[in-house]
Amino acid sequence: MEEVVLKVKNRDVIGKQVRAIRRAGLLPAVIYGVHVGSIPISLDYHSASRLLPRISSSQLIKLDIEGGEVYSALIREKQRHPIDGQLIHVDFLAVSLTEKLRTRVSIDLQGDAPAVKIYNGVLVTGQEEIEVEALPGDLPSRIAIDMTLLKTIGDAVYVRDLPAMPGVEILSDPSEMLILVTAPTVAVEGEGVQTGEFEPEVIERGKKEEED
């Protein structure tokens, strides 16, 4: 996994005065953790707004404080403006590389499901994240699911189907569903909308019985 290093600066301005920091093109943030108090910092808004959305909550990054220490950390919260959606504050959790921690890892769906392309199946997503425990250095940024394995209606992937990951213990319930392909919805005249596979041979058989 590519190492991500963010250059940050200590921040003296706190409270409502951080608005001035934002107007100056900076993004206020804070570092905290078990072995760290609370360190107010700021990042360049332009570079941070391009990089941070691509970093998952389980991806380890390094925060290099100008003229100070370097912290290994995870993103704990990205606060956005309720109207324009712009980043307004970020919380970083400083971690120890020698202590295991519990966190949630995002599920990444990759590829196309044959059951959707061939049988017009409908994808139903369940859990979008799973809970794991691991050393920070062993945490996967995302867990990929190969959608090409979903070949027929009813095929699904559950937590128990995920491959083992070195140094990572999956804590989520093994029976939790992650992705499922269901039958398409079809309209039946006089009966509203039903879900199920459309079987023309059954209709044809009933027609012949009526004619007989």
Cβ–Cβ < 8 Å for 12, 30: no
Distance from C-alpha of 156 to C-alpha of 121, rounded to nearest angstrom:
12
Strands (E), 20-167: 26-33, 36-44, 61-65, 70-80, 87-94, 101-110, 122-125, 129-134, 142-146, 156-158
Domain covering 4-94, topology: Ribosomal Protein L25; Chain P (2.40.240)
Where are the domains positioned within the chain? 4-94, 101-185
Reading the block at residue 99, the tokens are: 């202590």
Looking at the predicted structure, is the pLDDT value of residue 168 above 60?
yes
pLDDT digits (tens, 9 = 90+) for 3-32: 789 999 998 877 777 888 888 999 999 999
Looking at the predicted structure, is the pLDDT value of residue 167 above 60?
yes
Residue 98 banded pLDDT, cuts 50, 70, 90: very high
The DSSP bridge partners found for residue 93 are: 32, 74
pTM, full prediction: 0.78
Looking at the predicted structure, is the pLDDT value of residue 198 above 50?
no
pLDDT digits (tens, 9 = 90+) for 44-53: 999 998 999 8
Altogether, the residues listed in the chain come to a count of: 212
pLDDT digits (tens, 9 = 90+) for 50-72: 999 899 999 999 999 988 899 99
- Per-residue confidence (pLDDT) for residue 37, from 0 to 100: 87
Cβ–Cβ < 8 Å for 175, 127: no
Distance from C-alpha of 43 to C-alpha of 61, rounded to nearest angstrom:
14
Pick the CATH number of 101-185 from 3.40.50.1970, 1.20.1050.10, 2.170.120.20, 3.90.79.10: 2.170.120.20
